[in-house]
Structure 1
Amino acid sequence: MIETAKQVLRIEADAVLALQSRIDDTFSKAVKMVLACQGKVVVTGMGKSGLICQKIAATMASTGTPTFFLHPAEGIHGDLGMLSKGDVVIAVSYSGETEEVCRILPVIKRMGLPLIAMSGNPQSTLGIAGDTHLDVSVAEEACPLGLAPTASTTATLAMGDALAVALLNERGFKAEDFALFHPGGALGKKLLLRVEDLMHVGDEIPLVSPDTLLREALFEITSKKLGVTGVVDAEGALTGVFTDGDLRRIMELGLEGLQRPIHQVMSTKPKRILRRNLAAKALQIMESHSITSLFVFADDESKKPIGIVHLHDLLKSGVV
């Protein structure tokens, strides 16, 4: 069993590596055809190839190329109405003779849509019909019977990935663009969520004056449930912070520490974050300074905090 599995991986790896020598002008033409597309890219294929087509369409759509999958059997029964002028079609069939795929070729040609053919036989019906042809032929299938599509579907998938990534690079697609299409994923949250989306504002911000006795400041810390309070002067400018960690250190000296004004025991160099900064940056600052909260400011010049963000807020949002 182990040797069989290793043999399958060797065959499929060889099939993918063999594609490198076929990345030539035909591939460049396919990329240029898609870049010039005024509509959408339509990927179509039947059976196992159809499943690969769905993945290719999903990858292209998530990397800046509007793409959808068209089932060719459904196409010949009405779904060809999805096609419109300006579209580009990528048709996939390893043999190049799949009946359902070949039956929709005349409609594609009649509409004048550019056709990228992806098959294992350039001289097949599909290969000849294509405006360009991407050769995904393999020396052998990993299936010992040579029947189940294995190496051929892997090669087709890899060619689709090569096409998608080449388009991504040509478009200058960035991580931020990718995140826009994945707002529910971890990457989307890291690249889309900003501090202002998570911060506590108004009465939720724990603040006291410099002369507040520490025992009174404890009420502010506990009532706001953030484990910290900011210390602001008469103009509302943040001059320091005091955390529950600071409290533990003060209590080691005895209860008399609670009678001291907070300005004597506060940290005078509070870390800050801007409202427009990414939530991921807030997490980075917290981790690098071993703190759990940051006061938020409108801009670099502002001295008055407009909010506060806590590590728990980042955890709940999924940024961590």
Structure 2
Amino acid sequence: MRFRYLGNSGFKISEITYGNWLTHGSQVENDQATACVRAALDAGITTFDTADVYANTKAETVLGQALQGQRRESLEIFTKVFGPTGPKGHNDVGLSRKHIMESAHASLRRLQTDYIDLYQAHRFDYETPLEETMQAFADLVRQGKVLYLGVSEWTADQLRIGAALAKELGVQLISNQPQYSALWRVIEGEVVPTSRELGISQIVWSPIAQGVLTGKYLPGQQPPAGSRATDDKGGANMIRRWMRDDVLERVQQLKPIAADAGLSMAALAVAWVLQNDNVASAIIGASRPEQVADNVAAAGVTLPADVMAQIDEVLDPVVERDPARTLESSPKQREA
């Protein structure tokens, strides 16, 4: 495993982060989830990402249980706040001071830890003054309950104003967690250049495009039984945008490139995002322990320029690059 600094800080995280969105507390039984976490630890992963909204708080509980017995100082535990939790009442969502404070303390209990290494605003909240949000985050840092602050799926403009407010309060935003893959490159035009300027790193999710970049989905054929595309608990909705024959045909053309590089298709996809020097870590998920080992093979891999060019040539017609897609990710109104 290799490690990279997160943003303009002295905080290092593993190049591969284990995340439990759409799996723990939902798709995968707890024993299997624990086995996947153990496989991540065995592979040298020290960074774990979750969120209170995943499986309506159950994912945090499962992760906390799975990490028991590990040396806390050797782990980096990340979680997020914004989405509706609990009974989804009128204050059970968003980035108000009330919801942030209550959510942080609940996350600490579920994760069975005294502090959160990185606490992230899961989306931008248009209904709460950003000053209120940043003050609540800063207070958690001063209380020692949170060590570092990050956000997820914020636009370049939102990152700029958030970083300025954090600085005024004597704290720092060091990370953004966007979707990023060889198929989804919307952060490259605006978010990445702004982040470099501000000292913010990306911790990217869905580097294998919900599994599409593994090549297991074939054009003109039904998805394999038990795969993400057949999951009626949310997975099928997320992957739908890529389940087009023109995309799947292009992905199949990556197989000889991966073979020549000595990598699986999944490892090639993860290695691709790690070539971006603004990416500190790629988040992987797993429903089986062996998937962890496959993805971790991407750590420390350098893809030559000609290989990167080949991937670009193959995928170019189906790549999404529009920076406006980031703006769409944060709801203009809360769900609850």
**Shared fold by TM > 0.5?**
no
Greater RCO structure (CA 8 Å; 6+ sep): 2
Q: What is the TM-score of this pair, normalised by structure 2? A: 0.24
Please identify the structure whose Cα radius of gyration is greater. Answer: 1
Q: What is the TM-score of this pair, normalised by structure 1? A: 0.25
